[in-house]
Amino acid sequence: MRQDDSGDRPNLPLIASGGLRNGLDAAKAIALGADLAGLALPFLQSAFESEAALDELIHALKMELSTVLFCTGSETIADLRRPGVLEVK
């Protein structure tokens, strides 16, 4: 859940979706403040193709997220929200 100290808005999760195609897109959305990242089209395309294609997509997404975590020095997905994680050094 999003933290809102102002009391002006309800505490609702921020879901990033639309145009996300891979683990890097999902990681960027989370680093920018999203609580969840939705990747509907890649999942639907893979599911339409075969169960094996769906398994391959899931594996690829996990590997992409693992790569982002390694490259940013993050241990968990939540660590992507650290200040400065998106800065180029």
Number of domains in the chain: 1
pLDDT of residue 30: 95
Q: Domain of 21?
A: 15-81
Tens-level pLDDT at each residue, the chain (89 residues): 555 556 666 788 999 999 999 999 999 999 999 999 999 999 999 999 999 999 999 999 999 999 999 999 999 999 999 988 888 77
Q: Does residue 88 lie within any of the structural domains?
A: no
| In-domain check, residue 3 | no
In a domain, 1, yes or no: no
Query: Would the CA dihedral through 21, 23, 28, 30 be positive or negative?
Result: positive
By the 10 Å C-beta count (0-12 exposed, 13-18 middle, 19+ buried), 42 is classed as middle
Give the integer Cα–Cα distance in Å for 89 and 65. 20
User: Virtual CA dihedral for 50, 54, 57, 61, nearest 10 degrees?
Assistant: 170
> Has residue 10 been placed in a domain?
no
